[in-house]
Amino acid sequence: MTAASAKQLSQGMARRLLQLLGVVLGVAVINFFLLRLAPGDAAQVLAGEAGAATPEYMLALRHQFGLDQPLLVQFGKYLLNLAQGNLGFSFRHGMPVAQLIAERLPATLLLMGASIAFAVLLGSALGVLAAYRAGKLADVVISTLALLFFATPLFWIGLMLVVVFSVWLDWLPVGGMFTIEAGYTGWAHCLDVARHLVLPALTLGLFYMAVYTRLVRATMIEVRRQDFVRTAVAKGARPLRVLFAHVLRNALLPLVTMLGVQVSSIIGGAVLVETVFSWPGLGRLAFEALFQRDFNLLLGILLCSSVVVILVNWLVDFVYTRLDPRIRLR
């Protein structure tokens, strides 16, 4: 790498870091004021659970959580704590928000990674097969299944998978991340987590598998008609080389772009899937925090999710440059 290219790369990284800070700040501002527009607060929830909703008790609770201060003062303290790496304190769980997120984040990343890997690998394979057999029986069957999974709600797929594989066949556990009473360690624990992961990952991945199948099929059919593919065939290139080196590589570009766009929706889908399967991730934690009016926890989860989406999009940009050498990161 030359000195000029190294300088250009460092400038590009600095520019991207500034973009990250700007996006994170914008997300923090929007989330803070949007959540404050929602009715109710932590004091009302705690007072309702305690059965003591006297005005004095409510005032004491709001003073304890700082809710009696003006909104701009609360916002200024939130930004100050955020600049120091402090995401606040969860009144419901009685512990720092950062600690809660650190405990739940690995479960969500595991679920997202497994579902994305399943959707991309199987969706790409089915899309290639459908494009290779376009207009024939295999193409019709694959396209019909893709349309079916695309149109079916996630929660219904999850419930049907539970009924079939957990209730009827008793092959897989109903929910949770591992069997608590078994006390597995080592590889036995990993296998137990993998068994619990199958149904949530399938539920979340089937919808996106359908999207990638249809996208790869349409893109491959279009790429096969391009002049550079005809040139490769005319030069006597082997069919497999034409398929993988020329057609599939260029057909994956829209898939990678779509993957970066859909990461945020995958996180949103994880909220529903984690709730259905009692998966101990950020999605389920956010669902509980919303109903408990635990705004500090909810703000931390939303901010962490935004950072994950940004980092994944950076990774997608890098993969894009590897698939298409004409593109360079700026």
Q: Where are the domains of the chain?
A: 12-86, 106-323
Q: Which two tokens stand for residue 132?
A: 């290779």
Mean per-residue pLDDT, 31-46: 73
Q: Is the pTM higher than 0.85?
A: no
Residue 330 clears pLDDT 60, i.e. is over it: no
Instruction: Please answer whether residues 298 and 286 qualify as being in contact, where contact means their C-beta atoms are separated by less than 8 angstroms.
Output: yes
Report pLDDT for 124: 87
Q: How far apart are CA 130 and CA 125, in angstroms?
A: 9
- Distance in Å from the first CA to the final CA of the chain: 16
Q: What are the DSSP calls for 39-92, one per residue? A: S--HHHHHHHHHT---HHHHHHHHHHTTTTS-HHHHHHHHHHHHHTT---EETT
Query: What architecture (CATH level 2) is domain 106-323?
Result: Orthogonal Bundle (1.10)
| Interstrand relation of 95-96 and 89-90 (parallel, antiparallel or unpaired) | antiparallel
**CA-only gyration radius of the chain, Å:** 24
Report the mean per-residue pLDDT for the chain.
79
Reported as a single tens digit per residue, the pLDDT across 47-102 is: 666 665 667 777 777 777 777 778 788 888 888 888 888 888 888 788 888 888 88
Report pLDDT for 325: 63
Q: Please report which helix (H) or strand (E) contains residue 95, including its range.
A: strand 95-96
